[in-house]
Amino acid sequence: MVTRQHETHHDEFNPWLRVASLIEQAGHILELDDGLIQRIVTPERILEVSIPVRRDNGKVDVFTGWRIQHDSSRGPGKGGIRFHQSVNVDEIAALSADMSVKCAVVNIPYGGAKGGVKVDPDTLSRDELERLTRRYAFAIAPMIGPDRDIPAPDINTDPQVMSWIMDTVSMLRGHSMPGVVTGKPLAIGGSFGHAGATSLGVTICTLGLLKQRGLSPEGQRVVIQGFGKVGGPLIKLLTDRGMKVVGLADIHGAIHVPTGIDAHRMSDHFGEAHTIIGYPGAEEVAPDAFFTIPSDIAIPAALGGVVDEKVASTMTASMMVEAANGPTTGEGASILAERGIPVVPDVLANAGGVVASYFEWAQDMQGFMWEHELFTKRLEKFMQEAFDSVWVRHQQLGLELRDTALVVGVERIAEATKLRGLFP
């Protein structure tokens, strides 16, 4: 059961209550009536499942999993599945609501959903992981499907896990069903362009922000925290457009290269060293001083909660684009706002991945794969339109970009909900 406001008003850090109250605030800004706000806030469907798994030693352990569909007014549910020991129903509910808003902000015909299993996957063998995934997929199978709810990878789940889910549901339904999940390998209905799509979306938002501020990308100094699936491709994408990546951080430390990091050289170095540290000519910087490296644009692309009061007060960049999920704390966001530092929020900046998932699903439904160029062109268009629509509302409402994006998302969900009316 998802926590209700009256049950835990003492628990400020409950992720579900945080998201629910943000959606309510957006609803009040839009002057929606209370019944409509409650319809938008409350998850439509919550499924809790038990997942018995036979271990390699013959013993059976039982895990708990969830799939939550938050809102389906704009289309089938969309959202990842995570395997993590800290997963709980309130976290999954919060993430499902985030997905409703994110899909609406980038204007793709999906509602929000999310799933998860409370398990530490490091304690499972590969065979145990497959058995857990298949039993979880079986348990949530009545709820998912290409026109109901389409899962995708999230923390500790990958294209292999998606393949097992796709296969399990296909076996149950009696025919191959590629459109039931996205983030699949190419050989079974995955899509060109999926890898790197989030980074391309971040790039489009960075260019959009520069343009709106009357600045050319040429020579803009960027610092990127994180060199993984999102941070990795960003160096080339940004340098190709004239920017200079002068700072980079990973789990092992941080570096400063005032002349700019070369994407190919970094890729070669990382291939050998498995860390960014030791890049030729780089000066090492203390990780907690990373965002004080002289720069114009900061891109957190690693962890949540890193831009706190202290980092926000000392950050040298004059704008920020959130590639990571939730990189800025509430206090950090207030300080950045006071300092006049615009922030493209995660819900918009890192939505390239979910747009790519939509494209993969569309191709699976059509049974026709697009060329890479078409995929990229369409992704750029969706992200540009999403950025522009948030920017226009930001100027009309005079709110921070983060609050504006939420209002844009809630407004679109409200419009769909009103048009569809109330059944029965």
Residues marked active site are found at 114
Could you say whether residue 103 binds ligand NAD (CB under 6 A)? no
For 103, residues 6+ apart whose C-beta sits below 8 A from its C-beta are 74, 75, 78, 110, 111, 112, 354
User: Least separation, in Å, of the C-beta of 277 and ligand NAD?
Assistant: 11
Answer yes or no whether residue 324 interacts with ligand NAD by CB under 6 A. Answer: yes
DSSP readout, 341-375?
A: --EE-HHHHTTHHHHHHHHHHHHHHHT-PPPHHHH
Q: Please provide residue 84's backbone torsions phi and psi, each rounded to the nearest 5 degrees.
A: -160, 145
The whole-angstrom separation of Cα 328 and Cα 311 is 9
Q: Which among 98-106, 321-329, 360-368, 374-382 is the span making contact with ligand NAD, rule CB under 6 A?
A: 321-329
Kindly state the smallest distance separating residue 248's Cβ from ligand NAD, in Å: 9
Output the residue with the shortest Cβ distance to ligand NAD: 228
- Spatial separation of the C-alpha atoms in residues 229 and 272, rounded to whole Å: 18
Q: Which is nearer to ligand NAD, 228 or 242 (CB)?
A: 228
Q: Which residues neighbour 344 within 8 Å (Cβ) at sequence distance 6 or greater?
A: 205, 206, 208, 209, 320, 321, 322, 387, 401
Of residues 197-256, those binding ligand NAD (CB under 6 A): 198, 225-231, 249-251
36/303 with CB nearer ligand NAD? 303
**Residue choice 49, 303, 337, 341 for contact with ligand NAD (CB under 6 A):** 303
Rule CB under 6 A: say whether 328 interacts with ligand NAD. no
Q: Is 56 or 309 the residue whose CB approaches ligand NAD more closely?
A: 309
User: Would you say 297 or 414 has its CB closer to ligand NAD?
Assistant: 297
Cα–Cα distance, 229 to 238 (Å, whole number): 15
CB of residue 129 to ligand NAD, shortest distance in Å: 18
Distance in Å, CB of 109 to ligand NAD, minimum:
19
Question: CA dist 304 to 158, 307, 346, Å?
Answer: 20, 8, 10
Q: Classify residue 347 as exposed, middle or buried by CB count within 10 Å of its CB (0-12, 13-18, 19+).
A: buried
| Min CB(347)–ligand NAD separation in Å | 10
x/- map, 47-86, ligand NAD, by CB under 6 A: ----------------------------------------
Task: Number of residues interacting with ligand NAD: please give it, by CB under 6 A.
Answer: 20
Residue 196: CB minimum distance to ligand NAD, A = 9
Nearer to ligand NAD, 156 or 417 (CB): 156
302 binds ligand NAD (CB under 6 A): yes
Which residue from 254, 260, 158, 249 is spatially nearest to 218, judged by alpha carbons? Answer: 260
Question: Is 322 a residue that touches ligand NAD (CB under 6 A)?
Answer: no
- One residue of 128, 353, 375, 402 binding ligand NAD per CB under 6 A: 353
DSSP 32-62: --HHHHHHHHS-SEEEEEEEEEE-TTS-EEE
Q: Exposed, middle or buried by CB within 10 Å (0-12, 13-18, 19+), for 157?
A: buried
Question: How many whole angstroms separate alpha carbon 29 and alpha carbon 406?
Answer: 10
Question: Does position 274 bind ligand NAD by CB under 6 A?
Answer: no
Q: How far is the CB of 300 from ligand NAD (least distance, A)?
A: 8
Question: CB–CB of 343/322 below 8 Å?
Answer: yes
325 binds ligand NAD (CB under 6 A): yes
Residues that bind ligand NAD (CB under 6 A): 198, 225-231, 249-251, 287, 301-303, 323-325, 350, 353
